[in-house]
Protein backbone atom coordinates (compact mmCIF):
# COMPACT_ATOMS: atom_id res chain seq x y z
CA UNK A 1 0.00 0.00 0.00
CA UNK A 2 2.66 2.50 1.02
CA UNK A 3 4.70 2.19 -2.19
CA UNK A 4 1.58 2.31 -4.35
CA UNK A 5 0.31 5.44 -2.62
CA UNK A 6 3.75 7.13 -2.59
CA UNK A 7 3.96 6.82 -6.35
CA UNK A 8 0.69 8.72 -6.82
CA UNK A 9 0.60 11.35 -4.07
CA UNK A 10 2.92 14.26 -3.23
CA UNK A 11 4.81 14.31 0.06
CA UNK A 12 2.67 17.16 1.38
CA UNK A 13 -0.38 14.85 1.34
CA UNK A 14 1.38 12.48 3.75
CA UNK A 15 2.58 15.33 5.95
CA UNK A 16 -0.94 16.71 6.19
CA UNK A 17 -2.32 13.26 6.97
CA UNK A 18 0.27 12.83 9.72
CA UNK A 19 -0.67 16.17 11.27
CA UNK A 20 -4.35 15.29 11.20
CA UNK A 21 -3.68 11.91 12.82
CA UNK A 22 -1.49 13.54 15.47
CA UNK A 23 -4.17 16.08 16.39
CA UNK A 24 -7.18 13.80 15.89
CA UNK A 25 -8.24 13.72 19.57
CA UNK A 26 -8.34 17.52 19.66
CA UNK A 27 -10.11 17.74 16.31
CA UNK A 28 -13.04 15.77 17.73
CA UNK A 29 -14.09 18.89 19.64
CA UNK A 30 -14.74 20.64 16.32
CA UNK A 31 -15.85 17.73 14.13
CA UNK A 32 -18.12 15.89 16.60
CA UNK A 33 -19.85 18.56 18.69
CA UNK A 34 -22.62 16.53 20.34
CA UNK A 35 -23.12 13.32 22.27
CA UNK A 36 -24.94 11.83 19.29
CA UNK A 37 -21.87 12.53 17.16
CA UNK A 38 -19.87 10.15 19.32
CA UNK A 39 -22.59 7.49 19.34
CA UNK A 40 -22.00 6.80 15.66
CA UNK A 41 -18.30 6.14 16.24
CA UNK A 42 -18.65 2.46 17.12
CA UNK A 43 -17.10 -0.56 15.39
CA UNK A 44 -19.15 -2.51 12.88
CA UNK A 45 -20.89 0.30 10.99
CA UNK A 46 -18.07 1.50 8.71
CA UNK A 47 -17.55 4.42 11.06
CA UNK A 48 -14.01 5.82 11.33
CA UNK A 49 -12.93 4.19 14.60
CA UNK A 50 -9.26 3.46 13.82
CA UNK A 51 -6.62 6.19 14.09
CA UNK A 52 -4.82 5.11 10.90
CA UNK A 53 -4.81 5.83 7.18
CA UNK A 54 -5.84 3.27 4.62
CA UNK A 55 -6.69 2.95 0.95
CA UNK A 56 -9.73 0.68 1.19
CA UNK A 57 -10.70 0.34 4.85
CA UNK A 58 -13.66 2.56 5.67
CA UNK A 59 -13.07 2.27 9.42
CA UNK A 60 -9.86 4.31 9.08
CA UNK A 61 -9.75 7.94 10.19
CA UNK A 62 -8.09 8.99 6.93
CA UNK A 63 -8.76 7.26 3.63
CA UNK A 64 -6.45 7.73 0.65
CA UNK A 65 -8.11 6.01 -2.33
CA UNK A 66 -5.65 4.83 -4.97
CA UNK A 67 -8.18 3.93 -7.66
CA UNK A 68 -8.16 5.69 -10.99
CA UNK A 69 -5.33 7.25 -12.90
CA UNK A 70 -6.92 10.66 -13.36
CA UNK A 71 -5.27 13.52 -11.45
CA UNK A 72 -8.77 14.65 -10.42
CA UNK A 73 -9.32 11.31 -8.66
CA UNK A 74 -6.50 11.96 -6.18
CA UNK A 75 -7.81 12.94 -2.77
CA UNK A 76 -7.43 12.50 0.96
CA UNK A 77 -10.64 11.82 2.88
CA UNK A 78 -10.96 12.78 6.53
CA UNK A 79 -13.92 10.62 7.54
CA UNK A 80 -14.56 11.72 11.12
CA UNK A 81 -16.73 14.88 10.87
CA UNK A 82 -20.37 14.57 11.79
CA UNK A 83 -23.09 16.36 9.78
CA UNK A 84 -24.03 18.37 12.87
CA UNK A 85 -20.58 20.00 13.00
CA UNK A 86 -20.10 23.61 11.98
CA UNK A 87 -18.41 23.19 8.57
CA UNK A 88 -16.39 26.40 8.88
CA UNK A 89 -14.93 25.50 12.28
CA UNK A 90 -14.34 21.87 11.31
CA UNK A 91 -12.61 22.74 8.04
CA UNK A 92 -10.45 25.41 9.68
CA UNK A 93 -9.42 23.01 12.46
CA UNK A 94 -8.49 20.27 9.98
CA UNK A 95 -6.47 22.73 7.87
CA UNK A 96 -4.59 23.95 10.94
CA UNK A 97 -3.85 20.38 12.06
CA UNK A 98 -2.59 19.36 8.63
Q: Is the pTM of this model over 0.85?
A: no
What is the per-residue pLDDT for 30? 93
Q: Which residues pair with 60 in a beta bridge?
A: 50
**Would you say residue 1 has pLDDT above 60?**
no
Model pLDDT for residues 6-30, shown as the tens digit of each residue: 666 777 777 888 898 899 889 989 9
In a domain, 88, yes or no: no
Task: Please state, in angstroms and as integers, the Cα–Cα distance from residue 36 to each residue in 14, 30, 44, 80, 83, following that order.
Answer: 31, 14, 17, 13, 11
The whole-angstrom separation of Cα 33 and Cα 23 is: 16
What is the per-residue pLDDT for 49? 84
In a domain, 92, yes or no: no
Between 5 and 10, whose confidence is greater?
Answer: 10
Model pLDDT for residues 33-84, shown as the tens digit of each residue: 999 888 888 887 778 888 888 777 878 888 887 776 777 777 888 888 888 9
| Domain range enclosing 43 | 2-82
Angle of helix 24-31 relative to helix 11-22, nearest 10 degrees, comes to: 80
**Strand pairing report for 50-54 and 77-78:** unpaired
In a domain, 74, yes or no: yes
Please give the tally of structural domains in the chain. Answer: 1
What is the per-residue pLDDT for 2? 57
What is the per-residue pLDDT for 89? 93
Q: Which residues pair with 54 in a beta bridge?
A: 63
Amino acid sequence: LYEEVCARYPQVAFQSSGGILKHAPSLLAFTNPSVNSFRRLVPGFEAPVNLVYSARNRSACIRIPVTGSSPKAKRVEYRVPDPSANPYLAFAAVLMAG
